[in-house]
């Protein structure tokens, strides 16, 4: 079932075509939806069209998402939107063309794993149900100052060697390429590259020095498809 925000397109009278394009120096998807809306009364048809218009406007503002598959979504903006009344009946043809913000289809579920790491490391087993690399959003809060911090997966590692104060929140965002310490992005002085999750079972290890410290860790991610 195809949905736009709270609006549901009728399954039996809707077709969808997805193309991968490059626009504004970025790979995106162009999604074209054609649908026939039918109603039992003029009031019902007007109500459905008004609901669709509201959903399209919300989509443009990033307040609503487009879903082509259950549990997945896209954000983007409309490129074209047309309503054509059917003269002989209580119906209207709908043509909607949208550009997505990027080429990725994201999972609606935001997974979160929380733990306090001790003795120099914390290890997390993470399952990614998508078919593409999924970015991680990691939040750390050390109880004592750290001199080294490292994130590792089977394929990637990222190491930061500098004094990290106790009680300050440290965030690592793979998608935005940000490693924030006290509001400053320290990615430029780190070694390696941000870890991503491959499809299937992954192990993420958070290592730190000194090993006597304890670090509160929160790991968040969504499934990703292309």
pLDDT digits (tens, 9 = 90+) for 37-66: 999 999 999 999 999 999 999 999 999 999
Residue 120's pLDDT is 94
According to DSSP, residue 118 is labeled: B
- As its CATH architecture, domain 3-106 has Beta Barrel (2.40)
Beta carbons of 153 and 197 less than 8 angstroms apart: yes
Beta carbons of 140 and 206 less than 8 angstroms apart: yes
Q: Which two tokens stand for residue 6?
A: 């709270």
Question: Nearest to residue 134, comparing CAs of 201, 37, 192, 190?
Answer: 201
Where do the domains of the chain lie?
3-106, 109-225
- Name the band, by pLDDT with cuts 50, 70 and 90, for residue 183: confident
- Name the band, by pLDDT with cuts 50, 70 and 90, for residue 182: confident
Cα gap 193→66, rounded to integer Å: 31
Q: Which two tokens stand for residue 51?
A: 């609901």
- In 10 A of CB 47, how many CB atoms? 12
Cα gap 225→207, rounded to integer Å: 29
Question: Nearest to residue 88, comparing CAs of 44, 126, 38, 46?
Answer: 38
According to DSSP, residue 164 is labeled: B
- 109-225 has which fold? Jelly Rolls (2.60.120)
- Per-residue pLDDT reduced to its tens digit, 63-88: 999 999 999 999 999 999 999 999 87
Whole-number average pLDDT of the chain:
94
Cα gap 205→154, rounded to integer Å: 9
């Amino acid at each position: 079932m195809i949905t736009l925000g709270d609006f549901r397109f009728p399954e039996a009278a809707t077709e969808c075509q997805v193309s991968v394009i490059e626009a504004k120096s970025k790979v995106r998807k162009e999604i074209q939806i054609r649908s026939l809306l039918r109603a039992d009364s003029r009031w019902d048809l007007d109500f459905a069209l008004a609901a669709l218009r509201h959903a399209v406007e919300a989509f443009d503002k990033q307040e609503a998402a487009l879903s082509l598959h259950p549990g997945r979504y896209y954000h983007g903006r409309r490129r074209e939107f047309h309503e054509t009344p059917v003269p002989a009946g209580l119906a209207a043809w709908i043509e909607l063309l949208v550009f997505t913000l990027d080429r990725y289809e994201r999972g609606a579920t935001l997974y979160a794993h929380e733990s306090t790491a001790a003795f120099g490391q914390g290890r997390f087993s993470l399952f990614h149900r998508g078919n593409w690399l999924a970015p991680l959003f990691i939040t750390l809060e050390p109880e004592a100052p750290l001199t080294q911090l490292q994130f590792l997966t089977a394929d990637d590692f990222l190491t930061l060697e500098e004094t990290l104060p106790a009680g300050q929140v440290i965030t690592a965002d793979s998608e935005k390429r940000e490693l924030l310490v006290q509001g400053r992005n320290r990615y430029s002085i780190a070694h390696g590259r941000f870890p991503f999750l491959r499809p299937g079972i992954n192990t993420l290890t958070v290592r730190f020095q000194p090993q006597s410290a304890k670090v509160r860790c929160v790991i968040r991610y969504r499934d990703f498809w292309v």
